[in-house]
Amino acid sequence: MKVDGKDLRPIWLNQDPEIVNVIDQRFLPHEFIVADLETVNQVITAIKEMYVRGAPLIGVTGAYGVYIAAVSAPGGLVTDDHMTAECDRLKAARPTAVNLSWGVDRVLERMLNENSDSARVDAALDEARIIEEEEAENCRQIGLHGLPLIQEISKKKNNEPVNILTHCNAGWLACIEYGTATAPMYTAFDNNIDIHVWVDETRPLNQGSRLTAWELGKHGIKHTVIADNTGGHLMQHGMVDMVIVGTDRTTHTGDVANKIGTYLKALAAKDNNIPFYVALPSSTFDWVLKDGMDIPIEERNPDEIRYVQGLDQNRTTNVLVPPADSPAGNYAFDVTPARLVTGFITERGTCKASEKDIMALFPEKL
């Protein structure tokens, strides 16, 4: 996507092809810092500490991580044992987004078909690049399939602004291009539909106010940052026309794991008859788990709750909010049951949140 006129993705291969670069998203929007990843440990840290985050980007970073494991293999020996052990470590970096193991396993499988060390390195890089491009295209398609949903509301409202609420950051920073939840917004905006986005700030790490607001602003999309608990009130007063969120893992039965707080938005949307859509590429479906309650929910460092980050005198700073000795609990995701989801927007089109409808869209997964 363009930022200040420049094409930008959240991950790219450095001019030195043994280094992968990522935007260190921890410091956005106030500081733009690029990190070098040249060891598997650095890739793991980048995923764990959320320099990179968002399910599709975690998947692509994991895919490049396999390449890093190959290209930095001790003595240049890209053995099965080395690769399998490094891939296990990569996959353990974050538990909820299913894209991570999907991306890592796909690159591993492709490269292990090769016999020589150098062919393995080349295959790993090639597959990581293919995944990156596929995910960019998937998001573009999600935008095209989501467009009619926004168009229809716009028509019903006689071209008055369509108010869309979103939670967390499921934008291009979380993917490669366009985003998932934001793809229909970008596509609608580019097609001259008047939209306005309610951006949940998304405590504790504020991916909404830091990242989604930044992205939308750079594209010229009208938006308003709101405290996480505001959505229900807006819905009761007719100020939200639809909700679109992303997901870290969605079971093939339609249960949706996404950033903590998503479930409460879905409940409020249901109570107010507001369509609640989840946008995702097929890499985010879990084709094995049937029950969303079985999705592993990441618990993160309580300090992310206790401290708030912001700009102070031109420096990004953390400040303590609760009493220093109060314990905090940091559950990173929750699960919205399929019954609260109006539909999915995928690269193959839209469907209802039921096993039958999902499998009809992806019959090869049966």
Residue 254, classed as helix, strand or coil, is: coil
Contact 33, 25 (CB under 8 A): no
Question: Of all residues in this chain, which one has the CB nearest to ligand MRU in the complex?
Answer: 246
Is 332 a binding residue for ligand MRU by CB under 6 A? The answer is yes
Is 247 a binding residue for ligand MRU by CB under 6 A? The answer is yes
Contact 7, 225 (CB under 8 A): no
Least separation in angstroms between CB 315 and ligand MRU: 23
Is 53 a binding residue for ligand MRU by CB under 6 A? The answer is yes
Least separation in angstroms between CB 248 and ligand MRU: 4
Is 177 a binding residue for ligand MRU by CB under 6 A? The answer is no
Contact region for ligand MRU (CB under 6 A) — 54-62, 76-84, 234-242, 311-319? 54-62
**Active-site residue, selected from the candidate residues 248, 255, 286, 334:** 248
User: What gap in Å lies between CA 296 and CA 64, rounded to an integer?
Assistant: 24
Residue 36 bears catalytic tag: no
Least separation in angstroms between CB 82 and ligand MRU: 28
Which one of 78, 170, 199, 305 is in contact with ligand MRU (CB under 6 A)?
A: 170
Q: Which two tokens stand for residue 4?
A: 């200040």
For residue 311, which amino acid is it? L
User: What gap in Å lies between CA 20 and CA 14, rounded to an integer?
Assistant: 6
What is the footprint of ligand MRU within residues 129-168 (CB under 6 A)?
Answer: 168
Residue 92's closest CA among 132, 48, 124? 48
Least separation in angstroms between CB 174 and ligand MRU: 4
Radius of gyration of the chain (CA): 20
Which one of 35, 93, 174, 295 is in contact with ligand MRU (CB under 6 A)?
A: 174
Is 56 a binding residue for ligand MRU by CB under 6 A? The answer is yes
Neighbours of 111 (CB within 10 A): 24
* Residue nearer to ligand MRU on the CB measure, 111 or 164: 164
Contact 128, 11 (CB under 8 A): no
Neighbours of 362 (CB within 10 A): 15
How would you classify the pairing of strands 222-226 and 333-336? Answer: unpaired
Residue 119, classed as helix, strand or coil, is: helix
Contact region for ligand MRU (CB under 6 A) — 26-34, 48-56, 60-68, 264-272? 48-56
Active site residues: 248
- Using CB under 6 A, list all residues that contact ligand MRU: 53-56, 97, 168, 170, 174-175, 179-180, 207, 246-248, 258-259, 332
